[in-house]
Amino acid sequence: MKLTEYFSINDININIKSRNKNGVLAEMAGFFCSRHNINENDGILDVIMQRERVQSTGIGCGIAIPHGKTDLIGSVKLSVGLIKEGIDFSSLDKKPAHLIFLVISPESEHYVYLSILAKISRLFQSGVLLSNIIKNAKTEEDVYKLIQAED
């Protein structure tokens, strides 16, 4: 499985304005909805926030993976947000999150959904790829190519 099969350069936002967790979640949900022709009022943010209330999706190593399931989409989709300065995401390791992967899946694609969550965790576990993105990515295309090279 290639992570880059589930998002494109256009699904990356390197200009996240919010500087707190709830603001970033709202901004990422809005970005996701605009990319996938979903009305923001259809509940994507609610799905994400419901999952976030169970436990923070800040997995550590500078990565957060807010995620949820809804049948508003037909297949698993991702959006990626980069915050070079990092934000407090209530991560397990207490370190700021710099790269946010928003993963939305229909109920029917549970295996793909879990595989993507695991793939993101593996790709960024060492911290090398994230460090490379923070230091070198100037554009959405840069972020995509750096992830693609390790994917």
Neighbours of 51 (CB within 10 A): 16
pLDDT in tens, the chain (151 residues): 999 999 999 999 999 999 999 999 999 999 999 999 998 778 999 999 999 999 999 999 999 999 999 999 999 999 999 999 999 999 999 999 999 999 999 999 999 999 999 999 999 999 999 999 999 999 999 999 999 999 9
Nearest to 16 by CA among 100, 78, 94: 100
Q: Where are the alpha helices (DSSP H) in 36-139?
A: 44-54, 110-124, 128-136
Residue 3 carries which DSSP code?
G
CATH of the domain at 8: 3.40.930.10
Position 31 scores a pLDDT of: 96
The secondary structure element, H or E, covering residue 146 is helix 140-150
> Rounded to an integer, what is the distance from CA 132 to the centroid of its chain?
17
Domain of residue 93, residue span: 3-150
Position 42 scores a pLDDT of: 80
Amino acid in position 25: L
Q: Which residues contact 67 (CB under 8 A, 6 or more apart)?
A: 48, 51, 57, 102, 103, 104, 105, 113, 117
Residue 104: φ, ψ to 5°: -120, 135
Domain count within the chain:
1
Amino acid in position 135: K
Position 145 scores a pLDDT of: 98
- What stretches of the chain adopt beta strand conformation (E)? 12-13, 58-60, 63-64, 67-69, 77-87, 97-105
The dihedral sign for the CA sequence 97, 30, 79, 81: negative
Position 40 scores a pLDDT of: 77
pTM: 0.95
User: Cβ-count burial of 54 within 10 angstroms (0-12 exposed, 13-18 middle, 19+ buried)?
Assistant: exposed
